C-alpha cells in the first residue's frame, strides 16, 4: 500500500475536529517554514549587498548597472513570493478559525477538497477543476 493510500484511508476515519486540528498543524508548519525562508532570503540579500560594496561596485562596473538592478529585483521577487505564500497561509488559518465549517471546501463550487490536495497545499482555496478553470480564463 502506498503512503498516500494509507493517508486517504485515515482521512475517512477522521472526525471533523481531528480534520481541522490536522490542518491547523499543517498550516502552522507551513507558516513556520515560510517565515524561516523569508528570514533566509533577507539575510542572503543583506550579505550580498554588503559583499558587493555598493559604492565600489557602482563606480567600477557602470556597465553592469542593469545586471545589478536585475539581481536586486530577482532577490526582491523571491522574497515577495514567499511573502505572498505567507499571506495565503495566514488567510487559510483565518478561514479555519473563523469559518471552520467551510475550511477545506472549494470557494467556487463548495465541493470538499481532496484530502491529498489539501495536505499538500493546506492553503488551497479551490478544487482542481475550479483552479484549472481559473487558470484557463487567465490565458
Ligand atoms: Zn470547485
Q: Give tens-digit pLDDT for 24-74.
A: 999 999 988 888 887 755 554 444 444 444 443 333 444 445 677 656 655
In angstroms, what CA-CA distances link 75 with 3, 81, 137?
36, 10, 30
d(CA 23, CA 96): 8
**Gap from CA of 57 to ligand 1 centroid (Å):** 51
How confident is the prediction for the chain on average, in pLDDT?
Answer: 76
Per-residue cell: 55? 559604492
| Pair 74, 129: CB distance under 8 Å | no
Pairwise CA distance, residues 92 & 90, whole Å: 5
For residue 135, report the distance from its CA to the centre of ligand 1, in Å.
13
Q: What is the three-class DSSP state of 112? A: strand
Measure 137 CA to ligand 1 centroid, in angstroms: 14
What's the CA-to-centroid distance between 97 and ligand 1, angstroms?
21
Amino acid at each position: 500500500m502506498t503512503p498516500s493510500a494509507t493517508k486517504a484511508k485515515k482521512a475517512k476515519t477522521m472526525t471533523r475536529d481531528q480534520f481541522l486540528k490536522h490542518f491547523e498543524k499543517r498550516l502552522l508548519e507551513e507558516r513556520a517554514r515560510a517565515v524561516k525562508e523569508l528570514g533566509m532570503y533577507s539575510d542572503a540579500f543583506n550579505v550580498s549587498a554588503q559583499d558587493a560594496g555598493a559604492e565600489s561596485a557602482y563606480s567600477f562596473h557602470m556597465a553592469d548597472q542593469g545586471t545589478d538592478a536585475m539581481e536586486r529585483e530577482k532577490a526582491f521577487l523571491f522574497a515577495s513570493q514567499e511573502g505572498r505564500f505567507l499571506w495565503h497561509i495566514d488567510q487559510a488559518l483565518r478561514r479555519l478559525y473563523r469559518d471552520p465549517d467551510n475550511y477545506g471546501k472549494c470557494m467556487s463550487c463548495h465541493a470538499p477538497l481532496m484530502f491529498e490536495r489539501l495536505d499538500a497545499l493546506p492553503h488551497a482555496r479551490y478544487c482542481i477543476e475550479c483552479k484549472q478553470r481559473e487558470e484557463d480564463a487567465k490565458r
